Structure 1
Amino acid sequence: MNQRASGTFESQAKHRLVLKTGVAVLAAAGLLSAFPVLAQETPAADPAAVPEAVVTVTGVRRAAQSAQKIKQDAENVIDSIVADDIGKFPDTNVASTIARVTGVQVRRDGGEANTVLIRGLPGIATVLNGRELFTTTGRYIQLADIPSTMLQRVDVYKSQSADLLDGGIAGVIDVRTNRPFDFKGFTAAINGGGTNNSQADRTDPNLSGMISNRWKTPMGEVGALFGVSYVRNHYSEERAFNTKPIDKSFLLPNLTAPDLMGLQNVKGDRRRAAANYALQWKPNKDVELYAEGLGTHYLNNFETDFLVALPWWGPGDTMSGTKIPNTNQLQSLTSHNVNTIMSTQANRADNVTQQHAIGGRWSAAPGLKLSTEIARTLSDFDWQNPILDTLTVMPTSVVNTNIGGSANVSYSGQDITDPKNYRLDQLFDRYGHDSGASTDWRADGTYTPADDGFFKDFGFGVRAAKRTAASIKSFEGSVAATGTVSAASLPGLNCTSEMNNNWGTTSWYTPCASYLISNTADIRKAVTGSAAGKDLDPGSYFADEEKNYAFYGKAHIGWETGGIPIDGVLGMRVTKTDADLLGNSLLNGVYVPTAKSSSNTAYLPSANFKLQLRDDVVGRLSLSKTLTRPDFAQLNPGTAYIASGATVQATASGGNPDLKPFTARNLDGSLEWYFAPTGMVSAALFRHDFKGYIQTRITKETYNGQVYDVTRPFNTDDGYLQGAEVAYRQFYDQLPGWLGGFGLEANATYTEGETTTSGDNSMSGKPFAGMSKWSYNVVALYEKFGISGRLAYNWRSKFVQLYNDGGPGLDLIAAPISSLDGSLGYKINDNTSITLTGANLLNFKYTDYWKDKALYPRDTRRYDRSVGLFLNWKI
């Protein structure tokens, strides 16, 4: 592997894996066995370099060697991660793996890594075997939705070239799956096991299988591959929270304090099922035809159980408070006869995405190779999100804004878990549907002249794609209960939320999420007197049709200067996008259809140079222009308003149909020293200059007499991002005996950047939201005597999540994030291996805050620690 290469249902008591007792042995962690195909491309180590070492190149070492070879030979600035063996990628989640790539930063929520940034930027194109892949109305697919067991490798492109798909201003992540011609003959692999999550207290299956073969027939060589994967994951995330500081000087002079405090218990049951196929036919040495596809089904039932303390609000409350020493911010507050909300946000997310492609390659003439492909992608997403609030009056509440960095809430005077003490208060009834589809055709060619002159080869290609996206959801807002209805009158509704961490309270009554989802009509009837659901909101609807045409040309050149061979690839990509957007705008209380058309043509030049300074030293220089188009949802002309309630503030969100694609001019330079087949040191500098970078901001807008905090995207004026990367990898083969199995990977990235925005000084000169200034990875590796291990530590510095989140100047900041993951494997025989894995081994605590962590903490979160055991068998 190349580390350098880019809530939920109630938990059920199940058997705990004895693996929990084995976390400590993960001090030398890793995966195992061999990847048979890519290693054939990698030259053997020079025996003169390690005269007394006998090195067996398998598993972890072979994956690192293959990834290093890909990087060394590439025309672009690229880093790769290669599978250790068939069905054995370093992590079950692709996003978790690429978090260890130099310059890549990820965000972890809901029990897994999700949001991915390359060098601090979110504009990433995700492609599957070179083809655009997305989910419904987005421009990309969540990498976690692609089963890692199906992967051959992942390539992270940090510099652009003319033949790469446009749309990734930060880079391109190309996910490569296996094909039958990758193997010598019949191949089968089964990978199965289970993962235990500590807070969810569940052990779930993780199963995958692949079978592949190739045959020589009278019609030529034929190959077929089929794969399946199923991953289930019960997860838990526990939170304590404060809301933003506001004036509470009626209690103490100049006092500021959160209006609400509370706890959240996030629980989920996530399932991913997938299947892929690949068929290849080579009728002769000059022609190859293929068909391949991937289908994924993502189902996530999850809930967030809220305990919302309203310490300032009660029918006859009396209170006393203290300030944090030497400040005006509240420390603790004791209140009596306090209204308290117990709320459940139930969620069901169901997404199906599939992509099918057919294509062919033809060696048409000496030096001329042609290829073509047509692909069809379909994606549908249905979601439900009923939210039910119940209300009680607690005799005594004691809240503290900051104990050990987090909020603390405790109650006394009555049983907080008894549903007879609660009444139904209000219902938020939400649901929606998104869909997306595309047809994508491309044709490419290369011509290599017979003579080895200045021009080495020429590339050219054309692409035509039609993309549609549509979305609609129900009206937002709450409906208050009519009359007094006891929560105990609906027995199926009564659950208890249990937490592993103690933030003053460890359990409370909560509405059952499963009952909310399955019996929503009954809840509506009990709360509102009518079983009818909310209508679909015309203001939320949008439908977009986008046509993209692109062609490119590139030339591979080469010459020698001062005895230094120089290779270069010069290219130009011209891309034209025509879009027709249909939505509904609200005018004087009436929805009016709104159509908007746009057309944009961009010229994207690129130049990538590679200097072979020595046989083992490479210098690179890359210049390019890139663009990223707005997401379809960002272009929606409608606005969805959510009226204020006990657990929901008056907020709104909408799109901006006037958004433009944003562009960047990029400069990358690097120096790479490959001192061994699995040994390298590199350093890189980069600079991106932006125009029209899309940021999200919150502004005050008045609608129907109420002021809302409205979140919308907008184009900034200009901006830049720059930084540096360093990376190191080495296996210490020269060490004696068992010590010769150790290896180390380490990398670090520094980024800085800002944007300017006319007429909005609050956003100008600010770093990019989501970008950490520093990030680094340290990975210890081991492979010898059938034992393989990997222990990886990932860290990123604090970053701004959202500007002006708590009002002007109150930016929401996430504290530094870290993760320690590992695995330990043993090769039983040539066909069988066993692997023990662990994630979040240090039990990381996430925190975010406004301005000052000690004074204004918002969320404190605890995640699962995961331990898994897997058996891999192949023939």
Structure 2
Amino acid sequence: MKRQASVPGLAVPRRPFALKVSVAALAGIGLSSAMPSFAQQANEGEVAVVQVSGVRAAAQSSLDIKQKADNVVDSIVADDIGKFPDTNVAQTLARVPGIQVRRDAGEANSVLIRGLPGIATMLNGREMFTTTGRYIQLADIPSAMLQRVDVYKSQSPELVEGGIAGVIDVRTNRPFDFKGFTLSANGGVKNQDKAKKTDPEANGLISNRWKTEYGEIGALFGLSYVRNNFHEERSFNTFPVQKDWLLPNLTGPDLVGLQGIYGERKRTAENFALQWRPNKDTEIYAEGIYSRYKNKDETDFFVGLPWWAPGDKISATKIAGTDQIDELTSHDANTILSTQARASQNTTWQTAIGAKWNAAPGLRLSTELARTKSKYDWRNPILDAMVTVPDVFVKTNLNGGAFVRYGGMDMTDPKNIYLFQLFDRYGNDKGASTDWRADASYTPASDGFFQEFSAGVRFNKRSAESIKSVEGSMGAPDAFNPSTRVSVATLPGMTCTNRALSEDYGTAFWYTPCASYLLNNTNDVRQAVTGSSAAKALDQGSFFSVNEKNYAFYGKARVGFDIASIPVDGVFGVRVTKTDSDLLGYSMVNGVPVATPKSSSGTDTLPSASFKATLRKDLIARLAYAKTLTRPDFSQLNPGTAYVNSNGNTVQASASGGNPDLKPVTGQNVDAALEWYFAPAAMVSGTVFRHNFDGYIVGRAQPEVYQGVNYLTTRPFNTDKGHLQGVELSYQQFYDKLPGWLSGIGTQLNYTYMEGGVTSSSIGPGDLTFPGMSKNSYNIVLLYEKNGISGRLAYNWRSKFVQVYGDTSAIKGTAPNRDLIAAPTSSLDGSISYKFTPNLSLTLTGTNLLNFKYVDYWTDANVYPRDTRRYDRTVGLMLNWKN
């Protein structure tokens, strides 16, 4: 019996098998309570031709995947070839129920599934990662290359282990996805309002398939290029500390200031796929992807030091009813004008070759060999300059953030500015992996309770290493001597001014070191600041490397039966995984590196099962269970420790390092769902979930004795348990019965509520919500498709969340710890297309249409604000053509 389309998690058509005593029988043999949740990954050799065009077809395809899957799955499908809703995958995923993202410099970067970062990422069903990480940075992938993205919230034995939160599988096109010759090209421009730049983007795909005397052959090649300039602006206060030398019980920030973050991102990628079917029972394929993410940007700092002034020239007032500073005036106060220049490049490539074979009636075999490499190089020189400003006025909370007005002199004139200190930072990470897997599945010829048996093995060899330069600043020797300090004007090419800000933060323009000069002439800057052009040495104490081998076996069975005339499909199985690791780090003892190797080994058994009851043709109930795990990050496993001995009797010696004895975090996950597919491209669903975690990793400081000295040592430990529970609600429908043009309207609505956290004595009493998790989030999406017009308007919102529990002052003991909280965040994005002909369309896009303002604060937003951030609003125009 053949399967249906090639969608991971699709069920095999079931033969009915009535169980008159089904529940009792299962309980009697101990299976009723041991059938955890899982999804069947279909045979990808039998591919249904992909014919998706328009927002309605994409919405319908997403529901088809969800309905037919065994897992609890949500998918996003491209509107057309090269037409994914957003610039990168992370931004697109923000509209999936239960997904929450963080944004930086105006675009989404980090992704959480149900509030947790422990995810596994795959590309076309195989593991994908970035350098020393356990998963790929989804923001690095140009979304124009994608066919769809699947988010697995319940897991099955054949899926790569590694995600207590879930698995994200990014899918690209293959030549057998299309009927024949296919050519697609998309090109256009996008304008960023704060960056005041218009940038190009383009993607293309060519694919064909041929019937020959040697069988059917298909070939595909795709490419993508995205460039965008960006400008993020911030005003900030630092942590509130005691300032009672000025007023009784006064607290206030040590620093206030402004930041302009400006830069350019380039994402380029190429992918290929070859498929060959010499006969109807055999397929051989090869595919690969090569992506590059280049980033060059700068942060232009205006760091106000209002307290760095003569005491008789400072006055302040408090916020009513508090001890926190409201307004401050001072004279002849020092100020730091700084540029952080950054240049980085991340390259990742993966190639794979595999084969699938229908070896005998009902027996299917497959195998695949893949190679992945990733490299990340970065440089981050930082130059601080200093100036004394006659007149200073600060208000710590005006319109939600700091207002910093410095005047009485020209702060853009380099002759008034002096060299202060240089931070000379650089480093690199790299990772590589070789994966081999083999799978077999057997479908019995006769009807019965068991519908299919599957098994597979996997071998993975992974290596990673990281190193960076010695941290710390190199100060200009005469920075505080008015007669000998060095003006920045003595450095040619270092005279720049910050870019214009969109709001009035008090100070509009100031001198800032030129980022391009810092990056291109770093030796000259070192010479001017320190008297030597030599770069800081690489820090042997920061180095770590790992060689990891993973062996995995899985077995699963598909069953089908009826209970009271209700068809039930089930899949249950187990994955056994063994990991051997060889770690190397260096402990720095008073500046001397000491090699610290460590070997470890561990085996985990991960059962899972899922059941899907078809209550009616359009009504499905699901129950799923899975044991999951997430392995510690390689940096957390670093066996090296940096020891800093004390030179006195009043300050304890301290140390920090990783923990090579960390165990994986494990989760016991249960999902229950009800889905009603009540009309074409329409659905209402509800999912409840509960996850219990063991061995949750948190940092903790405790005394450790090394070479006879007692050090207060900070490192991560498996000491905590946690839980997460919640509900996801979704609704989608097109309103076909509305009159005329209104019949093209559709909506997608979803809402997620989550509650849970971790019990940790190291960060506070009681259960604490997971850092980064919002309890509430929702999406409101308006869709339209009629008369050649298609569009999408999407609003995303998430409630406040804790970033850091017990955040502290850099000056220990001067203020109580406070939680750092991010206020609710939202975004409104949209697109509208017009199809001139069946082959040609024009698309207008927009992001951040409401000009969202990000705010975070310590404990109370009205008293202790930290950052206020504003991002680019973008408008893009794309011409789309396909044959």
Give CA-to-partner distance per residue, 1:264-290, whole Å, 9 cap, x none: 110111111110000111101111000
Give CA-to-partner distance per residue, 1:604-642, whole Å, 9 cap, x none: 000100010111000000011000001112222346799
Are 2:120 and 1:119 aligned?
no
Q: 2:865 aligns with which of 830, 850, 857?
A: 857
- Matched position secondary structure for 1:530: coil
Q: Distance in 1 between matches of 2:603 and 2:762?
A: 29
Shift of 1:494: 1.0
Q: Distance in 2 between matches of 1:853 and 1:304?
A: 25
Whichever residue aligns with residue 139 of structure 2, its letter is A
Q: 1:753 aligns with which of 756, 760, 765?
A: 756
Q: Distance in 2 between matches of 1:641 and 1:473?
A: 18
In the alignment, which residue of structure 1 is the partner of 2:272? 277
Q: 2:248 aligns with which of 248, 253, 259?
A: 253
**Segment drifting more, 307-316 vs 93-102:** 307-316
In the alignment, which residue of structure 1 is the partner of 2:496? 495
Are 2:403 and 1:408 aligned?
yes
Give CA-to-partner distance per residue, 1:638-674, whole Å, 9 cap, x none: 467999xxxxxx9997433332210000010010000
- Matched position secondary structure for 2:529: helix
Q: 2:829 aligns with which of 821, 830, 844?
A: 821
Q: 2:738 aligns with which of 720, 735, 743?
A: 735
Q: Distance in 2 between matches of 1:234 and 1:41?
A: 34
Q: Distance in 1 between matches of 2:584 and 2:98?
A: 38
Q: 1:676 aligns with which of 638, 661, 679?
A: 679
Count residues with an aligned counterpart: 816
Paired residues for 1:197-236 under 5 Å: 197-236=192-231
Q: Distance in 2 between matches of 1:236 and 1:652?
A: 38
In the alignment, which residue of structure 2 is the partner of 1:524? 526
Q: Is the 8 A contact 1:307 1:340 kept in 2?
A: yes
Q: Is the 8 A contact 2:589 2:642 kept in 1?
A: no
In the alignment, which residue of structure 2 is the partner of 1:385? 380
Q: Distance in 2 between matches of 1:64 and 1:689?
A: 33
In the alignment, which residue of structure 2 is the partner of 1:19? none
Q: Is the 8 A contact 1:697 1:804 kept in 2?
A: no
In the alignment, which residue of structure 1 is the partner of 2:853? 845
Q: Is the 8 A contact 1:476 1:642 kept in 2?
A: no
In the alignment, which residue of structure 2 is the partner of 1:455? 450
Q: Distance in 2 between matches of 1:313 and 1:701?
A: 39
Q: Distance in 2 between matches of 1:497 and 1:651?
A: 40
Q: Distance in 2 between matches of 1:294 and 1:141?
A: 13
Give CA-to-partner distance per residue, 1:721-743, whole Å, 9 cap, x none: 00001100000001111110000
Shift of 1:718: 1.1
In the alignment, which residue of structure 1 is the partner of 2:145? 150
Shift of 1:91: 1.3
Whichever residue aligns with residue 720 of structure 2, its letter is D
Give CA-to-partner distance per residue, 1:13-34, whole Å, 9 cap, x none: xxxxxxxxxxxxxxxxxxxxxx
Q: Distance in 1 between matches of 2:874 and 2:277?
A: 45
Q: Is the 8 A contact 2:590 2:643 kept in 1?
A: no
- Matched position secondary structure for 1:527: helix
Are 2:71 and 1:71 aligned?
no
Assess, with a 3 A threshold, how the Cα gap between structure 1 residues 701 and 551 changes in structure 2: closer, same or farther: closer
Give CA-to-partner distance per residue, 1:139-195, whole Å, 9 cap, x none: 111112222111111100000111111001100000010000111111010010011
Q: Distance in 2 between matches of 1:820 and 1:537?
A: 44
Q: Is the 8 A contact 1:548 1:577 kept in 2?
A: yes
Whichever residue aligns with residue 770 of structure 1, its letter is G
Assess, with a 3 A threshold, how the Cα gap between structure 1 residues 489 and 702 changes in structure 2: closer, same or farther: farther
Paired residues for 1:616-695 under 5 Å: 616-638=618-640, 654-695=657-698
Assess, with a 3 A threshold, how the Cα gap between structure 1 residues 265 and 662 changes in structure 2: closer, same or farther: same
Q: Is the 8 A contact 1:317 1:338 kept in 2?
A: no
Paired residues for 1:452-851 under 5 Å: 452-483=447-478, 484-498=485-499, 499-638=501-640, 654-695=657-698, 713-757=716-760, 759-760=761-762, 762=764, 764-806=766-808, 809-851=817-859
- Matched position secondary structure for 1:580: strand
In the alignment, which residue of structure 2 is the partner of 1:17? none
**Segment drifting more, 185-194 vs 308-317:** 308-317
In the alignment, which residue of structure 2 is the partner of 1:164? 159
TM score, norm. by length of structure 1: 0.91
Assess, with a 3 A threshold, how the Cα gap between structure 1 residues 638 and 305 changes in structure 2: closer, same or farther: farther
Q: Distance in 1 between matches of 2:199 and 2:288?
A: 27
Q: Is the 8 A contact 1:500 1:506 kept in 2?
A: no
Q: Is the 8 A contact 1:427 1:480 kept in 2?
A: yes
Q: Is the 8 A contact 1:243 1:258 kept in 2?
A: yes
Q: Distance in 1 between matches of 2:457 and 2:405?
A: 65
**Segment drifting more, 143-152 vs 674-683:** 143-152
Are 2:880 and 1:872 aligned?
yes
**Aligned-pair RMSD on alpha carbons?**
2.3
Q: Is the 8 A contact 1:323 1:329 kept in 2?
A: yes
Q: Distance in 1 between matches of 2:340 and 2:700?
A: 25
- Matched position secondary structure for 1:338: strand
Q: Distance in 2 between matches of 1:658 and 1:314?
A: 50
In the alignment, which residue of structure 2 is the partner of 1:45? none
In the alignment, which residue of structure 1 is the partner of 2:126? 131
Give CA-to-partner distance per residue, 1:498-544, whole Å, 9 cap, x none: 22222111111000111001111000000000000000001100000
Q: Is the 8 A contact 1:716 1:756 kept in 2?
A: no
Q: Is the 8 A contact 1:782 1:790 kept in 2?
A: yes
Which structure carries more relative contact order (alpha carbon 8 Å, separation 6+)?
A: 1
Whichever residue aligns with residue 523 of structure 1, its letter is V
Q: Is the 8 A contact 1:477 1:642 kept in 2?
A: no
In the alignment, which residue of structure 1 is the partner of 2:26? none
Q: Distance in 1 between matches of 2:468 and 2:808?
A: 27
| Contiguous gaps of at least 5 residues in structure 1 | 6-36, 43-56, 644-649
Give CA-to-partner distance per residue, 1:789-838, whole Å, 9 cap, x none: 10000000000111122355411110001000000110110101110000
% identity of equivalent residues = 66
Shift of 1:777: 0.3
Q: Distance in 1 between matches of 2:698 and 2:225?
A: 37
Q: Is the 8 A contact 1:428 1:479 kept in 2?
A: yes
Give CA-to-partner distance per residue, 1:281-333, whole Å, 9 cap, x none: 11011110000000011110011111111111136761110000111100011
Q: Distance in 1 between matches of 2:700 and 2:817?
A: 12
- Matched position secondary structure for 2:526: helix
Whichever residue aligns with residue 485 of structure 1, its letter is V
Q: Distance in 2 between matches of 1:176 and 1:841?
A: 29
Assess, with a 3 A threshold, how the Cα gap between structure 1 residues 233 and 638 changes in structure 2: closer, same or farther: farther
Q: Is the 8 A contact 1:315 1:339 kept in 2?
A: no
Q: Is the 8 A contact 1:316 1:336 kept in 2?
A: no
Q: Distance in 2 between matches of 1:537 and 1:399?
A: 40
Q: Is the 8 A contact 1:409 1:505 kept in 2?
A: yes
Q: Is the 8 A contact 1:697 1:802 kept in 2?
A: no
Q: Distance in 1 between matches of 2:262 and 2:705?
A: 36
- Matched position secondary structure for 2:420: strand
Q: Is the 8 A contact 2:82 2:203 kept in 1?
A: yes
| Contiguous gaps of at least 5 residues in structure 2 | 1-8, 10-45, 479-484, 646-652, 810-815
Assess, with a 3 A threshold, how the Cα gap between structure 1 residues 493 and 640 changes in structure 2: closer, same or farther: farther
Q: Distance in 2 between matches of 1:725 and 1:640?
A: 45
Whichever residue aligns with residue 668 of structure 1, its letter is D
Q: Distance in 2 between matches of 1:565 and 1:468?
A: 47
Q: Distance in 2 between matches of 1:392 and 1:58?
A: 59
Q: Is the 8 A contact 1:298 1:350 kept in 2?
A: yes
Assess, with a 3 A threshold, how the Cα gap between structure 1 residues 234 and 41 changes in structure 2: closer, same or farther: closer
